Structures are given as structure tokens and as C-alpha cells.
Amino acid sequence: MPKHWIALSFAMLTWGGWTEIAAAQHEMPYEFQGTQVALSIERFMGIDYTDVEGPGGSDVTARLLLNASEPVPTSLGRAGIDVFIDRLSLGLAGGVTSEDVGIIAPRIGYLFGLTPTIGLWLRVGGFYAATPAVKYTGITGEVLFAFFPHEFFAIHLGPTLDVAFADDPNPNYVSVGIPEMGVSVWF
């Protein structure tokens, strides 16, 4: 008879432990609850493949810590701010250089929590970029894997796609970042 009580007690403790784990998994650090704000430094490192219509052809450039010349404005390193409502993000990014080149890019995104330390942040949006000679408008998309070494800090890395339409008679271009890197801090 005592063996049955011991077995029943062990079964109840095991079952209770499993339900506590299941309940706790709903509130892991990668589960964003409520409203949060993320400040980011984006595209500060990466490799870009740019295909320009017309005589410019295609070009591959790499940059390490913002040290390379940007062949197109969408390759600029930029600062961003995103407001998260649960996992949905609404954001704005922008960057400028000393050569009067600037970009502003509104976007919408969604952050999927894959593990407690890895997430997938999908973002799409548009942009407006201006250089002294050309003005661009276009669409952008990003698939960023975010590594969270701390609950409120992330390093993101992933491919980007920018499709730019220039004012006439300047050429349009498509730029693919393979991969682009950035960091974000959540408040």
C-alpha cells in the first residue's frame, strides 16, 4: 500500500512540475507583453549587391562599421525607432551622410519568438532617399534573425531587399543586402 502512495505522489509532483513549466513558457523574455520601444542602429555592417538599370550595371560592396562608400542611399547605416504593441512593430528609420545624402524609411514588422534567445523580425516598408542629383522612392523588406544575449538587447542579422524608383531620367535600382547587421535596445 505505501508503494502506491509513493507512486501516486511522484506522479502528482511530476504532473505539477510539467504544468508549471507550461504556464511559465507563456511569459518568456522573448514574449513581448504590452507596449515597448526599440532604438536601433541598422545596416552598419554588411555586403550589398546592387543592380542599377542602364550603364551603371551591377556592383558588390562591403562595409565594416560604416567605413565604406555607399553606392546607393539604401546602403546607408541608419538609426531607427520602433514601437512594439505586443509583437507588432511600427517604426521609422533614417540616416544622413556628410555629402548631403539622406534616407527616411517608415515600416511595419512582426517579431516571432523562436527560442528564449532567438527571434525572427520581419519588416516591410517604404523609403524616400535624396542625393544632390537624384531623388528615390521605393519599397524595402527585411528578414532579420535577432539574438537576445540580454532580455532588452538584440543583435540582428539577415538579408534585406530594396527596390528604388528614381526621378527621370535617372536609373532605378535593386539592392540586396546579404547579410546586413544591426543592434537594438528595448525600453
Q: Within this chain, do residues 7 and 67 fall inside the same structural domain, yes or no?
A: no
CATH of residue 66 = 2.40.160.20
Residue 1 belongs to domain spanning = 1-30
Q: Within this chain, do residues 171 and 151 fall inside the same structural domain, yes or no?
A: yes
48-64 average pLDDT score: 80
102-111 average pLDDT score: 95
Q: Within this chain, do residues 3 and 90 fall inside the same structural domain, yes or no?
A: no
Residues 86 and 77: beta-carbon distance below 8 Å: no
Q: Report pLDDT for 136.
A: 94
Q: Give, as one character, the DSSP assignment of residue 171.
A: P
Q: Is the pLDDT of residue 22 over 60?
A: no
User: Which of the pair, 56 or 150, is modelled with greater confidence?
Assistant: 150
Q: Report pLDDT for 32.
A: 66
Q: Report pLDDT for 31.
A: 60
Q: Report pLDDT for 23.
A: 36
Q: Within this chain, do residues 136 and 172 fall inside the same structural domain, yes or no?
A: yes
Number of domains comprising the chain: 2
Q: Within this chain, do residues 145 and 91 fall inside the same structural domain, yes or no?
A: yes
Instruction: Kindly give, in sequence order, each residue whose CB lies less than 8 Å from that of residue 181, ignoring residues fewer than 6 positions away.
Output: 43, 44, 45, 46, 155, 156, 157
Query: Measured between alpha carbons, how far is 39 from 142 in angstroms, rounded to an integer?
Result: 17
Q: Within this chain, do residues 56 and 90 fall inside the same structural domain, yes or no?
A: yes
